[in-house]
Chain A
Amino acid sequence: MTMKIKPHKITFSLHTLLVLFLTGGIVVFVGLGVNLLLKVQQVNQAAATERLTNAKLELTRALQKLTQDAAELGLHLSNWDEVQQQLVTPTYYAYWREQRMQKTGQLPDYVVDIELYNTEGKALVQPHSSSLPDPLPVNENYFSHEHNVSFLYRFTPVYDRIEANKIIGYTGIKMEVLPALLALYHFSHTQADSINTVGFAGKLTSIDEILPYLEFEPRPSPQSTNLESLIKWNLLHFSILMAGMVLLMYFLFSYFLKRPLATIVKQINTLRAGNPSPLLETQFPLAVTEIDTLKESLVRYQFDLDKVHSKLDTQNVELWHLAHHDPLTGSYNRRAFDDDWANLTELFQDQRISISYVLFDCDHFKAINDTYGHQIGDEIIKIIAANLQTCLRKGDKLYRLGGDEFAAIILNTSTEGVSYLAERCCKVIQFYPFKDLGIREPVTISIGIANAEGTDLNQLKALPRHADLAMYHAKKSSLKIQTYTQQMGEDSSILSSHIVNAVLAAVKDNERILPHYQEIRRCNTNTVSFYEALVRIKDVDGLIYPGDIFPVINRHALNAEFDHGIIAAIQRDLEADIIPHGTGVSINLSAAALIESALDQHIVGLLPYLHSHTIVMEVTETSLISHLNQATDNLKELQRLGFIIALDDFGSGYSSIRYLANMPVDIVKFDIAMIQTMQESTRNRKIVEHIAKMIRDAGYQLIAEGIEDQKTLDLVIEMGATHVQGFYIDKPVRLPHKLPNAGNQ
Chain B
Amino acid sequence: MIILPSFRGLLLKGFFLLILLISLPLGADTVREKLPSGRYGVATYHQAELSKPTILVLHGFLTTHNFNTVMGIVDLLAENGNTVLAPTMTLGINARQGGLPCDAIHTHTLEEDLEEIRFWIEWLNNRGHQHIVLTGHSSGSLELLAYLNKNPHPAVKKLIATSLVYADGFNPAALVEQQIAAAQQKHSLGDRSLQSYTLSYCRGNFLAPAYVYLSYTAWTRERVLTALQQSPVPVTIIMGGKDERFQDSWVQGLRQTGAEVIIIPGASHFFDSHHEFDLHDAILSQLE
Which residues of A line the B interface, CB within 8 A? 79, 81-82, 84-85, 88-89, 91-92, 95-96, 100, 103-104, 160-162
Contact of B93 among A85, A95, A103 (CB under 8 A): A85
Enumerate chain B residues within 8 angstroms of A161, measured Cβ to Cβ. Answer: 32, 40, 94-95, 97
Task: Tell me whether B97 and A91 are in contact (CB under 8 A).
Answer: no
Chain A, residue nearest B42 (CB): A161
Q: Is the CB of B94 within 8 A of A84?
A: yes
Q: Are B105 and A81 in contact (CB under 8 A)?
A: no
B244 is an interface residue with CB less than 8 A from chain A: no
Evaluate contact between A95 and B97: CB separation under 8 angstroms.
no
Query: Which of the residues B94, B101, B105, B194 comes within 8 Å of A88, measured between beta carbons?
Result: B94
Distance (whole angstroms) from the CB of B213 to the closest CB of chain A: 15
CA gap between A85 and B100 in the complex, in Å? 11
Residues of A within 8 A of B103 (CB): 100, 103-104
Q: Which 9 A-B pairs have the closest CB atoms?
A: A161-B95, A85-B93, A81-B93, A92-B105, A162-B40, A84-B94, A81-B96, A84-B93, A82-B104
Across the two chains, which residue of chain A brings its CB closest to B100? Answer: A81
Q: Contacts A88-B94, A95-B194 given; 9 further ones with Cβ under 8 A?
A: A81-B93, A81-B100, A85-B94, A85-B107, A88-B39, A91-B107, A96-B105, A100-B104, A162-B40
Residue of B nearest to A79 (CB): B97
B190 contacts chain A at the CB level, 8 A cutoff:
no
Closest to B33 in A: A162
Complex A-B: 15 CB contacts under 8 Å: A81-B96, A85-B92, A85-B104, A91-B107, A92-B107, A92-B194, A100-B103, A100-B104, A100-B105, A103-B103, A104-B104, A161-B40, A161-B95, A162-B40, A162-B94
Tell me, in angstroms, the Cα distance from A225 to B210 when the chains sit together. Answer: 67
Is the beta-carbon distance between A162 and B97 smaller than 8 angstroms? Answer: no
Q: Which residues of B contact A89 (CB under 8 A)?
A: 92, 107
The residue in B92, B94, B100, B103 that gathers the most chain A C-beta atoms within 10 A of its C-beta is B94
Confirm or deny: B154 has a beta carbon within 8 angstroms of a beta carbon on chain A: no
Whether the Cβ atoms of A82 and B105 lie closer than 8 Å is: yes
A162 and B31 CA atoms in complex are apart in Å by 11
How many chain B residues have a CB neighbour from A under 8 Å? 19
Query: Chain A residue with minimal CB distance to B97?
Result: A81
Tell me, in angstroms, the Cα distance from A89 to B94 when the chains sit together: 10
Q: Interface of B with A (CB < 8 Å)? A: 32, 34, 39-40, 92-98, 100-101, 103-105, 107, 194, 207
| Contact residues in A for B97 (Cβ distance below 8 Å) | 79, 81, 161
With A100-B105, A162-B32 as known contacts, state yes or no: A82 contacts B93, CB within 8 Å: yes
Give every chain B residue within 8 A of A104 (Cβ-Cβ): 101, 103-104
Known: A79-B97, A162-B95. A85 touches B32 (CB 8 A): no
How distant is the Cα of A161 from the Cα of B30 in the complex, in angstroms?
13
A79 to B93, CA, bound (A): 12
Which A-chain residue is minimally distant from B105 (CB atoms)? Answer: A92
A95-B105 contact in complex given A162-B32, A162-B40, C-beta closer than 8 Å: yes
Report the minimal beta-carbon distance from B44 to chain A, rounded to whole angstroms: 16
Question: In the complex, A95 Cα to B193 Cα: how many Å?
Answer: 10
Task: Report chain A residues within 8 Å CB of B32.
Answer: 161-162
Q: How far, in Å, is A131 (CB) from chain B's closest CB?
A: 22
Complex CA–CA separation, A100 to B100 (angstroms): 13
Whether B98 pairs with A81 at a CB distance below 8 angstroms is: yes
- Tell whether, in the assembled complex, residue A85 and residue B98 are in contact, meaning their CB atoms are under 8 Å apart: no
Collect the chain B residues with CB atoms within 8 Å of residue A81's CB.
Answer: 93, 96-98, 100, 104
B180 to chain A, nearest CB (A): 22
- Minimum CB distance partner of A82 in chain B: B104
Residues of B within 8 A of A84 (CB): 93-95
Shortest CB distance B191–A (Å): 13
Query: Measured between C-beta atoms, what is the minimum distance from A160 to chain B in Å?
Result: 8
Residues of A within 8 A of B101 (CB): 104
User: Which residues of A lie under 8 Å from residue B39 when comparing CB positions?
Assistant: 88
A95 nearest CB neighbor, chain B only: B194
Judge whether B40 and A85 touch: CB under 8 Å: no
**From A88, which residue of chain B is reached at the shortest CB distance?**
B94
Bound-state CA distance A104–B40 (Å) is 24
Report the bound CA distance from A160 to B94 in whole Å. Answer: 9
Q: How far is the CA of A100 from the CA of B196 in the complex (A)?
A: 12
Least CB distance from A587 to B in Å reads 132
Q: How far is the CA of A161 from the CA of B96 in the complex (A)?
A: 9
- Report the minimum CB–CB distance from B41 to chain A (whole Å): 10
Measured between C-beta atoms, what is the minimum distance from A159 to chain B in Å?
11
Closest to A161 in B: B95
Which of A84, A85, A92 has its CB near the most chain B CB atoms (within 10 A)?
A85
A82 neighbours in B (Cβ, 8 Å): 93, 104-105
Whole-angstrom distance between the Cβ of B263 and the nearest chain A Cβ: 36
A95, B103: Cα distance in complex, Å: 12
Q: Which B residue sits closest to A86, measured CB to CB?
A: B105
Contact A85 B105 (CB under 8 A): yes
CB distance from A343 to the nearest CB of B (A): 142
